[in-house]
Amino acid sequence: MRSTPGSANSAGFDVVIVGAGIAGLQMLYRVRELGLTVRAFEAGSDVGGTWYWNGYPGARCDVESLEYSYQFSEELQQEWEWTERFATQPEILRYLNHVADRFDLRRDIQFNTRVEALTYDEDAGRWTVRTAAGDETTARFAVMATGCLSSANVPAFAGLDTFAGEIYHTGRWPHHDVDFTGKRVGVIGTGSSGIQSIPVVAEQAAELYVFQRTAAYSLPAGNHPLDPAEQAAIKADYAGFRARNNRMPSAGNSRFPANPASIFDATPDEREAAFDFRWARGGPGLLGTYGDIMVNKDANDIAAEYVREKIRQIVKDPELAARLSPEQVLGCKRICLDTNYYETFNRPNVHLVDVAAAPIERLTPTGIRTRAGEYELDAVIFATGFDAMTGALLSIDIRGRADLTLREKWSAGPRTYLGLGVPGFPNLFTISGPGSPSVLTNMMVSIHQHVNWIGECIQYLRDNEIVSIEATLEAEQAWVIHVNEVADTTLYPQCNSWYLGANIPGKTRVFMPLVGFPAYLDKCAEVAANGYEGFDLTRDRRLASCD
């Protein structure tokens, strides 16, 4: 076990981590703290994960910078100075590079290496990891830090290969300058990625065609340079700030919590004033104007109508405003934050194409053909999202006990215990896996919690000479029921969102994340305190020592 960290090792490693984004980097740091050997594999040429791949114009975080940061090192969180309320992708990538350098993490990361298969050897109690290049190594533990939104969804449009212009996906943006000046550009998709990129691309492009299938709700980000005094105030008690955020349903926004009162106890004037205040403040806070907006359809309708009225006020052409106005439940698809999104449609070079009424039929050598017409384009940007939560995991051939594949195991939707473990797959952990709060929270916080839980778990196993940990089927079944029951108390399952897998043709519809962070945090702590209740632990003295 005491080999040089990162060195290829005939005995393999104690821990293999798949991914070197936010989760992989912190996991690597944590494993090193435990004194174990570790190798992280990363498909990209550098660290950053989401922030490495999503370099599209306008890419920016929708969680406030002071919250969207690591908390495992007090020195780090004191040293780093954020410049804006919501950080840009380049700033976050600089931060993650700084973290990698500051903690000397790169020496244990193998870049440009896609993991193709993970196979559990029951006799040896180890995972064999195979890369796309065919190299193999083994590890006692495998930690999947593959990200929830990392498997790009490119709809299989006919003629995709025939288009002669430039093609991009927001989640696979090239690492060189892309300039749309003077070009005719098409953006397919109006989720967060489309909504962030459209205003920026519109300023460069000669003509911009936005291919919209479902209008999305977007709230003004209200971004601004960070006030140094505000930053200093948080830093004066960062631990207290983190602790307060841990008690919030989304693991954040403790400075501006949701109002628990019912919308029906407020007069129309009071509602208007409350919505106006939150709209002007910017960020996602409008959803928390009243406690029943995300659980009661009538309450939600009132808030949704407020946003539609804002769209009508911003977009000058009433017919265009109507086409940009969403009808689904507000917030049941992930809410978007924007800077000048609706305003952009007042520009003469921006055109909204309704592909719900007239779907895209094919790409042609010169553009996009819908059922209603043909659009000549020099570049097409796919802002078509991701095979969320399961896509990256299932793209790897993961085989557990008795050759059970994760693809078979999850053929009717993902099933986990706590979003951390899967029966049949011993010693394999999924950071922010389905069944955990993950994408419904500040991911930085969820990742922090999972990394620490996994780290403590591995420490416990070592201390107690336990060689394998595996979620039980009973625990998994109860957990899946629990996740669904909680979701059903909200309006989340009521539209075709990626939370449900509804954006991917053929994907089983299951609500994948768990709503509510604090109860989950407590549950995970309780499971650990009770000797990893819900997991089978196997002692084997022959295998107990890693040395």
Q: Which lies closer to ligand NAP via its Cβ, residue 170 or residue 300?
A: 170
* Under rule CB under 6 A, residue 213 binds ligand NAP: yes
* Under rule CB under 6 A, residue 509 binds ligand NAP: no
State how far the Cα of 403 lies from the Cα of 122, in Å rounded to an integer.
10
Cα 415 from chain centre:
18
Span 482-501, contacts to ligand NAP by CB under 6 A: 498
Q: What is the DSSP letter of 417?
A: B
Q: Which helix (H) or strand (E) holds 538?
A: strand 535-539
Applying CB under 6 A, the span of 11-19, 206-214, 275-283, 367-375 interacting with ligand NAP comes to: 206-214
Q: Which lies closer to ligand NAP via its Cβ, residue 138 or residue 190?
A: 190
Torsion sign, CA atoms 246, 251, 257, 262: negative
| Among residues 26, 138, 151, 190, the one that binds ligand NAP under rule CB under 6 A | 190
* Under rule CB under 6 A, residue 188 binds ligand NAP: yes
| Among residues 17, 36, 47, 61, the one that binds ligand NAP under rule CB under 6 A | 61
* Residue 439 beta carbon to ligand NAP: minimum distance, rounded to whole angstroms: 6
Applying CB under 6 A, the span of 25-33, 57-65, 256-264, 266-274 interacting with ligand NAP comes to: 57-65
Cα 5 from chain centre:
29
Tokens of 124: 């040896």
Q: Which lies closer to ligand NAP via its Cβ, residue 130 or residue 362?
A: 362
The interface mask with ligand NAP, positions 368-407, x = CB under 6 A, is ---------------xxxx---------------------
* Under rule CB under 6 A, residue 194 binds ligand NAP: yes
Tokens of 479: 């957990």
Give me the amino acid identity at 255. Answer: R
Kindly determine how many residues on this chain lie close enough to bind ligand NAP according to the rule CB under 6 A.
Answer: 28
Q: Which helix (H) or strand (E) holds 458?
A: helix 443-463
The interface mask with ligand NAP, positions 250-289, x = CB under 6 A, is ----------------------------------------
* Under rule CB under 6 A, residue 191 binds ligand NAP: yes
Collapse the DSSP code of 323 into the 3-class scheme (helix H, G, I; strand E, B; otherwise coil) and give the result: helix
276 — phi, psi (to 5°)? -60, -40
* Under rule CB under 6 A, residue 521 binds ligand NAP: no
Burial label, 74 (beta-carbon count in 10 A; 0-12, 13-18, 19+) = exposed
**Residue 519 CB neighbour total at 10 angstroms:** 14
Of how many residues is the chain composed?
Answer: 547
Give me the amino acid identity at 139. Answer: A
* Under rule CB under 6 A, residue 218 binds ligand NAP: no
Q: Which lies closer to ligand NAP via its Cβ, residue 29 or residue 345?
A: 345
Q: Who contacts 531 (Cβ-Cβ below 8 Å, separation ≥6)?
A: 537
| Among residues 5, 26, 38, 62, the one that binds ligand NAP under rule CB under 6 A | 62
